[in-house]
Structure 1
């Protein structure tokens, strides 16, 4: 019995051991199988990654090669442009060197002639001394008598020769200085290449069809009336079938009207509410145009450190004319000329250029502020932190103030050069625009006037009054008074129509 139990225990132990060994071997087999599968997957993934990396490298190399080719072409183009510019500069430098050499030679000749004159004067002194000694010995004359005789002799023999030589020296010096001045002015004008365009008092806008022209007029003319009231311009529709002419002496109003009309034509919906919306948009856009014009002028002239509000005021000159000349373009031209002259004369070129650019800045606000454009300009520059040197150089360009510095003289000369060149200015146009402005000024004096527009080439003035300040009877009375004032203060051919418009608009919202 005991042997049987022992055998059972032995077999049980053996079976357990064999089972454990078999289980271990089975687990090892399963683990190896799984490890092999995972390794295969990893190798496949690694291979895919290598292929993707190779593709990326290939694409990157192609793109890099393309970028390098483009960069090399750009470098070659810039190198050619640089070499071309360098050749032009070298040629100009050569010409300038020749002019300076000629000037130095003439200056040397003048110095030589001066030295010769000095030698002659020393010879005269020596001759006088010798003659005095001889006269004292031979004629037994007193020193005073000998002196008088000697002076008379010297004057008789040498005066004509000395005067002739002095005259030649003066003429040579004058001619040299005149040529030098001409060279400086010519160089300044050559370096100045500001394009000038002159607009009169009309602008043309193309229209695609006669149907659009009918929409612009509107039912019973309500659209064109609303447009003219809001913009202060006159629309002329019968001059050409494919265009509309905008007539107004004020360039800002004319440009706002042009932008608004183009927006309306593009939109296609033309009615009073839409007209008012587009005019408001154009007014905002014109402010950006004014700022861009000021910033472009400063960028072109490389002038830094200008107050933002002063930039805006400068840009307003783009829509200001003087004797038919665009004031902003004129100011840029004066700045370029002043800079060149200042460099030639060894003056302060940055101050001269800055003062020249701002010399007419007062004209941007002379319709809103009382006083001459010079006085207004001085206040503007001082308010926005311009230096005293710039203000002094600017204020004397019309002779109202003394020229306190060389830069002030340069600004005056540059302004005269720009304004006096052929075709720069037209007095007739300026007088015409001034007459239209005078018409509006007369109407603006009356209390209750909201805005005034001179149209029809000055043959009509439209006055818009505030409905809460002027009643119908007051509007009629105002029209008679304006007409009477025009008759007393202005001289004009024919007659001028005075139209006073009173509109009472009430707006309510249904909620």
Structure 2
């Protein structure tokens, strides 16, 4: 039994040893395999690194060659420019040498001509002296006496010529001064008249918000067309904030358009039929206000017996300006000044005041005339049975304007 146990133990020991030997051999074989694979991978990596290094070397070499080629090209271009510059300098030197040669030849010719001129001058002096002696012998006058007579004769001719020349200069100066004065006046009018022209042709209607612009224009623009047709005024609705521009040369029409727009916007009902109704109503109100203004002005100035049409024209002056001043205010001031001057001169102040008030009625006609306003005012005064002295005073205003 013990023998069997010993045999089993020995067999286990031998098996364990054999197993260890087999495992060691297998580990050794696996290590060798791993080492071989590592060597192979290292060889592949080495080859890849060598290829990359060669490629990088080729790239560096190509880049160096390219830079070297660029530098060579720049050097060649610089050499070419230097050669061209040398050729230009050589050409300039040749041209300068030719110019110096020509200058030297010209100087020699001038010296020769100068010498000839000196010789001719001496010869001419001699001939002139001989001719002067012969003339003195023939005329019986010395050179000084002949010179004095010639100077006197030339003085008379010079005075006559100078007088004629002075007259020509004076005439030309007058003409030039007249043209220059007109030019200065026109330029002054162009510079100053812009604001007055805008004031006389444009009225700005203020609104609370830009939404009202769309209501004033209406669908497809029918409201604004109806308003323009009813008032005769151009209505400009643009990007100007909270404002509408009324453009037209007739100040009464502009005022009618402004008041009509004010009533339409306040009422809120804006359509073509309503527009025509409001414009007609406002036109009637303005006409009544014009007549009332004319009557009140005549009463304030103590002027009686004016024709109703003249009273209406006086009232229209309220809506017209002249040289930046309201025409009615200007006419009232003129009337008072005329009365004061008439009193100082011992004349009739009432007639003078009447003529002063009416002197600019030709500026507010119902239709555009071709006559100057002073002549038109005189015709209106004659038409409405004003006295001849009043008509003549208004017409005399035209002569003052012409002067």
Shorter-chain TM band: 0.3 to 0.5
Higher normalized helix content (fraction of residues): 2
Q: Which has the higher contact order (CA 8 A, sep 6+)?
A: 1
TM-score (norm 2): 0.47
TM-score (norm 1): 0.37
Q: Which has the greater radius of gyration?
A: 2
